[in-house]
Amino acid sequence: MQKANKYLLIALFVFCVNEVKAQQNLTLFLMHDVPQANYVNPAVSYKCKWIVGFPGMASIHANYNNSAFSLNEGLRYDSSVDSSYLNFDEVVGNLNNTEIVQSSVYYTPLYAGFWLKDNWITFSVSEKITSYNTIPKEAAELLWYGNTAFVGREASLNGLRVNGLHFREYALGIARDVSDRLTLGVHAKLLFGKGTVYTPKTQGGLTTNANNFGLLIDLDTKIHTSFPIDIELDDEGYVENVELRENIDWTQYMMNKKNMGVGFDVGFIYQYDEKTTFSGSLLNLGFIAWGSELNTFVSDGVFEFTGTDSSTDFNSGDYAEELGDSLRHQFLPVPDNGGFTTRLTPELYLGATRSLTNHLNAGAVFYSRFQRNKIMPAFTLSANTYNYKRLNASLSYTAINGDYFNIGAGVGVKMGVFHLHAAADNLLGFMKLENQRNLNLRFGLSIVPRCGEPREKEQKSKNGISAMPCYHSPYKGEGRKR
């Protein structure tokens, strides 16, 4: 049974890694010559009349964060069999009190931006899948070592959560100069939830009696789901089995509009002096109210189970089977006709740039994600080009998740009417994935027309972080590079 627990723990970590939650775009944030920086700062505008994301390829963003470990930190080589294996004894031993594993995939098939008088208007449609998981160290120890290590004391499960979320986002944005120095922007979002597993909180633990290996389980937790699943109950009404519903109508799932929500992003760009610019944004202020395909499972009591003798523990198959049968009575399905609400994960960006030359600036970004009651900070230093005709680029260094060696890069390339953007905060990490705790990548393709008539209101440079300038003028012999 201990072997089975080990496989379960590995599966839990693999689930956390491969599920697809919160994002960060630290390199992209100061690349304001790239129009897609508007995704992370609504105040970023564009100097040409309009831009349209290439259908189906406007933007794709993937992100993974793991505060617990990198694969290589637990990977060991066995020369006797000439193969590597994952040493979870070392991984579990190095865990902090609570670790966070999260990931996300954001797919934006539709995006457009255009000028309406002095307002830069944007519209996008995005499909977002996220996962956020917290793993207490003692929960990992319990799964890996069994309950033997906790004889006579409690194994705390406080804070154990596995959450996933899938929703569609319709975003309408506006950016406008409110003075010669200050530009403000906002995104208003309409959200439609598709599926979720949500754990508000977990309190309690498992205590093993030192005399007879009896277990006392005091568990206060609730699991909300909105997903097409079937639940099998026993004769007493407790959960017997949960499985994915057969013959799911995925078209109906994707077009479900019953789980509605709203969200907002706000941002600013402030030109402090001729060389210094400050910028910032606060993203993902909002919630989703779930009202379809609802199920709620509740455990709020104390359960006591006594082993057959003092030698029985999680290594005994019979003991574990009896325990598993009894544990079902910890979770009782309850009606959830009123639905439940999940909040988005707010993110804060604060940045500054200082012009070094006419085409190069140095920048710094502070980032923090606010998940539940936890603050997850990161810091980035970067060098960014600006006001080049065809190519704008960035090179960055980021410290995040206790990982202090993340070298990132970003590019915005204008190729005729096409504009390609790509950015990653840990570019070198893709060359050796097993060493990484943090990975992200954003890329996409847009259609950008030649600039038409010059805009009536000349837009001033934001000290190297303004949007990509136009280089075409209808007036013969006249360029518009600033």
Give the total number of structural domains in the chain. Answer: 1
In a domain, residue 273? The reply is yes
Examine residue 254 and state whether it is found in any structural domain, yes or no: yes
Contact 451, 478 (CB under 8 A): no
Query: Is 247's pLDDT higher than 90?
Result: no
**Is 11 among the domain residues?**
no
Contact 224, 179 (CB under 8 A): no
Per-residue pLDDT tens for 416-458? 889 999 998 887 766 665 555 677 789 999 998 766 444 444 4
- Percent of the chain residues topping a pLDDT of 70: 72
Banded pLDDT at 323 (limits 50, 70, 90): low
The pLDDT of residue 1 is: 40
Residue 451: the pLDDT is 60
Q: Is residue 466 scored above 50 in pLDDT?
A: no
Say what the pLDDT of residue 373 is: 64
The CB density around residue 409, as the number of other CB atoms within 10 Å, is 17
Contact call for residues 378 and 42 (beta carbons, < 8 A): no
pLDDT tens track for 346-377: 999 999 999 999 999 999 999 998 876 667 78
Q: Is residue 417 included in any domain, yes or no?
A: yes
Name the band, by pLDDT with cuts 50, 70 and 90, for residue 16. Answer: very low
Q: How far apart are CA 219 and CA 224, in angstroms?
A: 16
Residues 252-288: tens digit of each pLDDT: 999 999 999 999 999 999 999 999 999 999 999 999 9
What mean pLDDT do residues 392-417 have?
A: 85
At residue 395, φ and ψ (nearest 5 deg) are: -125, 130
Closest CA to 358 of 381, 380, 384: 384
Mean pLDDT of 63-81: 64
Cα(19)–Cα(55) distance, integer angstroms: 26
So what's the pLDDT on residue 454? 43
SS3 303: strand
- pLDDT at position 6 over 50: no
Lowest mean pLDDT among 49-63, 268-282, 313-327: 313-327
- For 228, the domain range is 20-133+168-192+218-290+342-447
At residue 12, the pLDDT reads 39
Tell me the C-alpha to C-alpha distance, in Å, between residue 373 and each of 81, 134, 204, 343, 345: 46, 12, 18, 12, 11
Instruction: State the average pLDDT for the chain.
Output: 78
Residue with tokens 């006709």: 337
Q: Which residue has the higher pLDDT, 181 or 21?
A: 181
CATH code: domain of residue 67: 2.40.160.40
At 17-36, the pLDDT tens digits run 333 333 468 899 999 888 89
Domain assignment of residue 415, yes or no: yes
Residues whose CB falls within 8 Å of the CB of residue 11, separated by 6 or more in sequence, listed in order? none
Higher pLDDT, 243 or 89: 243
Q: How far apart are CA 368 and CA 282, in angstroms?
A: 10
| Averaged pLDDT for residues 334-340 | 78
Chain centroid, CA 44 distance in Å? 22
pLDDT range class, residue 319, cuts 50, 70, 90: low
Give the model's pLDDT for residue 15. 39
What percent of the chain stands above pLDDT 90?
35
**476 in a structural domain:** no
> Residue 396: pLDDT above 90?
yes
Asked if residue 109 lies in contact with residue 148, where contact means CB atoms within 8 angstroms, the answer is no
Residue 37 has pLDDT above 70, yes or no: yes
**What pLDDT does 22 receive?**
39
Q: State yes or no: pLDDT of 94 exceeds 90.
A: no
Q: Which residue has the tokens 């639905």?
A: 339
The answer as to whether 469 is a domain residue is no
As given in the structure block, the two tokens for residue 415 are: 């190729």
Q: What angle do CA 421, 425, 428 make, to 5 degrees?
A: 100
Predicted pLDDT at 142: 72
Q: Is residue 477 part of a domain?
A: no
pTM to 2 decimal places: 0.79
